[in-house]
Amino acid sequence: MAKKPAILLTIDVEDWFQVENFKSYIDFSTWNSFELRVEKNTHLILDMLDAFSFKPKATFFILGWIAERLPNLVRQIRHRGHEVASHGGNHHLCTALDRNQLARDLLTSKKRLEDITGQAIYGYRAPSFAINDQVLEMIKQAGFLYDSSYNSFSAHGRYGSIDLSKAIKNGGSYQLDNHFFELPVSNLRLCNKTIPLGGGGYFRLYPTSFFKQGIKVVLKKNNTFVFYAHPWEFDPDQPKVHQASRGFKFRHYINLSKTQGKLQKIINAFTNCDFITCQRYLDSIGISTF
């Protein structure tokens, strides 16, 4: 286990029109017609992290579609000392693809990022946390060292499930075999129920005090907290998808103006922790990625 508590900041780099909740209203064939705001919003996150004196580092799970159009953004993330990892190719749910489609998506997205950075890509996160044991096996076969797609909040319709009963737990990681690991998103267990906590809309919805307390509970148990966010969550001025359902609009737009300030408060509240990348975290608990 890592000596100091570790908080793994993870950012899923996708744009406002690519989210799963809007897929019924925005067809994939129209993506090229929309304004790209992800570069500006990702730079906002990078600048925010650089502003802290202790320079917290994060893992950026980058969509291949974005990497293809903004390779300099990928290089900038790496240049600033953060980890570049894969979020797949076109934000298609892994569980909706057949084996050949998924294998192609995994390999193509990984190679694109490796070609841009000139370095190996170790990590993967499935769009919308849609994962199962078969998908996990294919992620391993594609050459990734770790996956960070498991979200244990089972009440969400798209989140998947995997069997970790035989895995070796070490802090916030689960060793699935000699060279493959799972880093689940952190949630809270209260009264035998799972409370979604790791980030995203839940982070924007919960009071900061509740979120801080939840992190403390998870850190006490695992010495590790895995947080996630998206660049569009830092962008209250993004275009509105007016035709979306009321529920989807609530989930997407709630408290966007508060995301940056809230995350800054959370980071400042846990300066006793190591804010390191997923790759460095695995190194810190004795798992070599080199």
Q: How many other C-beta atoms are found inside a 10 Å radius of the C-beta of residue 156?
A: 11
Q: Tell how far CA 104 is from the center of its chain.
A: 21
pLDDT tier, 160 (very low <50, low <70, confident <90, very high otherwise): confident
Is the distance from CB of 150 to CB of 185 less than 8 angstroms?
Answer: yes
What tokens appear for 240 in the block? 């509105």
- Whether the per-residue pLDDT at 194 is higher than 90: the answer is no
Instruction: Report the C-alpha gap between 225 and 9 in whole angstroms.
Output: 8
- Whether the per-residue pLDDT at 72 is higher than 80: the answer is yes
Average pLDDT over residues 60-86: 98
Q: Which amino acid is at 277?
A: T
Kindly report, residue by residue over 230-263, the tens digit of the pLDDT: 999 999 999 999 999 999 999 999 999 999 999 9
- Whether the per-residue pLDDT at 154 is higher than 80: the answer is no
pTM across the whole model: 0.96
Domains in the chain, CATH or no CATH each: 6-284 (3.20.20.370)
% of the chain surpassing 70 pLDDT: 97
The DSSP 8-state label assigned to residue 117 in this structure reads H
- Whether the per-residue pLDDT at 1 is higher than 50: the answer is no
Is the distance from CB of 87 to CB of 106 less than 8 angstroms?
Answer: no
- Whether the per-residue pLDDT at 48 is higher than 50: the answer is yes
What tokens appear for 148 in the block? 């960070």
- Whether the per-residue pLDDT at 35 is higher than 70: the answer is yes
- Whether the per-residue pLDDT at 19 is higher than 70: the answer is yes
pLDDT tier, 2 (very low <50, low <70, confident <90, very high otherwise): very low
- Whether the per-residue pLDDT at 158 is higher than 80: the answer is no
Instruction: Report the C-alpha gap between 101 and 173 in whole angstroms.
Output: 28
